[in-house]
Structure 1
Amino acid sequence: MKLEKLEPLDSPNYLRLIFEDGKRLKAPAFKVVELGLTPGVEVTPEVFLALENAQSLASCKERAVRILTASGLSKKELQKRLVQKGESEEDAEAAVAWLEELHLIDDLETAKQLVRSACLRGYGAARAKSILYEKGIPKELWDEALEDLPEMDGAIDVFLRRKLDGRTLDAKQIKKTVDALLRRGHSYHDIQAGLRRYEASLSLEQTQEDTWEDME
């Protein structure tokens, strides 16, 4: 088919190709130049397919950048998200590889961000690992990412205060609170230590109250 006209688009990175039979195709400008296409040139089916593939990949790359900008993702998760949005497996894989070459996606840095986020939410190591798994972070990166996770005694203490202060400390209430902390990824050992600290603080408060009463 014969190329009749090249039209500029709002984006300088693209051109609209108009063919003699009425077909229109948006294509990356670099690909048009690379193929030496000018008005009046006969475009073979192979060249037309190359233009379509170039446009498909360029569109996929743009979508990958938009998704990555909106939220930090692992390479695996980004590729999966692109396919869910309708991109081909081949284009999705190429787009992720392109971002990696540009150092715009880094699974280790993403993993560290996820661990920091888990820490801010008061989650323990087990929950942080679960998040890394859900986000498609390769397991070989987990240990290095989890090095950023500090001791979570403070988070456990705050949680216990919020859930137990002013309530009757029966076995049912304590079990409910322990189960909630386990779901948040804290180890049973750390939770037990937190309960001992909580009981000690209650004993201290009671001692202080008794002292004030004696003084009165």
Structure 2
Amino acid sequence: MYFNHQKLSCKETALQLLSRRDYGEQELHRKLAGKGFSENEIGEVLAYCHDLGYIDDIKFAQSQIRQHISKGQGEIRIRQELKQKSVSETDIDMAFQDFDTDWYELARISAMKKYRVLETVEPKEYARRVRFLQYRGFDFEQIQYALTPDSDE
């Protein structure tokens, strides 16, 4: 069935968007505002969706965290992405409480996936690997751990 998007109400548009993927409250607000709905309409629809549990910033953040961890990304990058999606610092902190992730091991796994072997390399290559892991969202201690070859002494 073909839908004419201009005839959909704000609520229908919101539900259609939410049927495709999860949205944070502010992200959905921006999307609806971009489609020309009034602040009043958007406010009512967000309250409706919130009351029914269709939008929940903590659950949204948890879903995003799971996705980013599965991609081998670190906490810094994940927090940055959630902030860009206008999730509050408080909600981000609450969402992270449900995860017991070993960021050091995740950094090592990400490095191993990309570089296969972690033997000592020349400084230029080491710097390139550090930049890669920084981009992935790991802090310096995690990167050092990830790029230190295992010693079987």
Cα deviation, residue 154, structure 1: 3.0
Spell out structure 1 runs of 4+ moving beyond 4 A.
none
Give the alignment's Cα RMSD to 1 decimal: 2.2
- The number of residues matched between the two structures is 145
Distance 1:131 1:90, change over 3 A: same
Alignment partner, residue 153 of structure 1: 104
Correspondent of 2:72 among 113, 122, 131: 122
Deviations 1:133-172 (A, max 9, x none): 0111112111111122511233322332232639981101
Matches within 5 A, 1:103-182: 103-147=53-97, 148=99, 150-161=101-112, 162-163=114-115, 165=117, 169-182=121-134
Contact 2:108 2:145 in 1 (8 A): no
Larger CA Rg, structure 1 vs 2: 1
Partner of 1:82: 32
Q: Higher strand share goes to which structure? A: 1
- The CA deviation at 1:80 is 0.7
TM superposition shift of 1:122: 0.8
Give the unaligned 5+ runs of structure 1.
Answer: 1-55, 208-216
| One-letter amino acid matched to 1:116 | R
Q: Tell me by how many angstroms 1:123 deviates.
A: 0.9
Unaligned runs of 5+ in 2: 1-6
Q: Tell me which residue corresponds to 2:3.
A: none
Give the structure-1-normalised TM-score: 0.61
- TM-score when normalising by structure 2: 0.85
Give the fraction of aligned pairs with identical amino acids, expressed as a percent: 26
Q: Which letter does structure 1 place at the counterpart of 2:137?
A: G
**Higher RCO, 1 or 2 (CA under 8 Å, sep at least 6)?**
2
- In 1, Cα distance between equivalents of 2:145 and 2:118: 20
